Amino acid sequence: MWRPSIGTLFAILVGVAATLGQNTGYQQDPNWRAPDPAAARPNPLADKPEAAAGGRKLFHRNCVECHGEDGSGLAKKHAADLQLPVVQGQTDGTLFWKITNGNTGRGMPSFSKLPELQRWQLVLYLRTLKATAAPEARPSPN
């Protein structure tokens, strides 16, 4: 009879806990769209990838409470899974606009009080977030 090791049981428990916390059922708000001029804005820090380290610090200070350590979104907060292609496929300008303006109807606060360059650093950091599960194991965003 197969008996799992303590390490195997721990790995399974961690995996289950991580999956339960993720907001795998996240659906993007179809009405939360950046105006075209805002969506077209380029990130002034795009050629400074090292600035993402500052964005990581800002993310951990301001965003982890709802989006989780890895950006997968906490289901209990109904927060966006920032790893999903539907989020990652948005322009830098769109992400900047959403960070700046928030979406209070969905619980996303405005971070317009952060200096502009810090909001662009957050956008750089969001681009580093990667899915933790294999793409075929993740539900479709539609």
Q: Can you tell me the mean pLDDT for 64-80?
A: 91
Q: At which residue do the structure tokens 């009080």 appear?
A: 113
Report which of residues 111 and 25 the model is more confident about. Answer: 111
- pLDDT band for position 75 (50/70/90)? confident
User: Residue 136: what pLDDT?
Assistant: 44
- pLDDT band for position 111 (50/70/90)? very high
Burial class (CB in 10 A: 0-12, 13-18, 19+), 132: middle
Domains of the chain: residue spans and CATH: 34-135 (1.10.760.10)
Sequence-distant (6+) residues with CB within 8 A of 79 are: 23, 26, 66, 67, 68, 73, 107, 108
pLDDT, tens digit (0-9, with 9 covering 90-100), for 8-32:
544 554 444 444 455 556 677 888 9
The three-state (H, E, C) secondary structure of the chain, written as one string: CCCCCHHHHHHHHHHHHHHHHECCCCCCCCCCCCCHHHHCCCCCCCCCHHHHHHHHHHHHHHCHHHHCCCCCCEHHHCCCCCCCHHHHCCCHHHHHHHHHHCEHHHCECCCCCCCHHHHHHHHHHHCCCCCCCCHHHCCCCC
Task: State the average pLDDT for the chain.
Answer: 83
- The pTM of this model reads 0.76
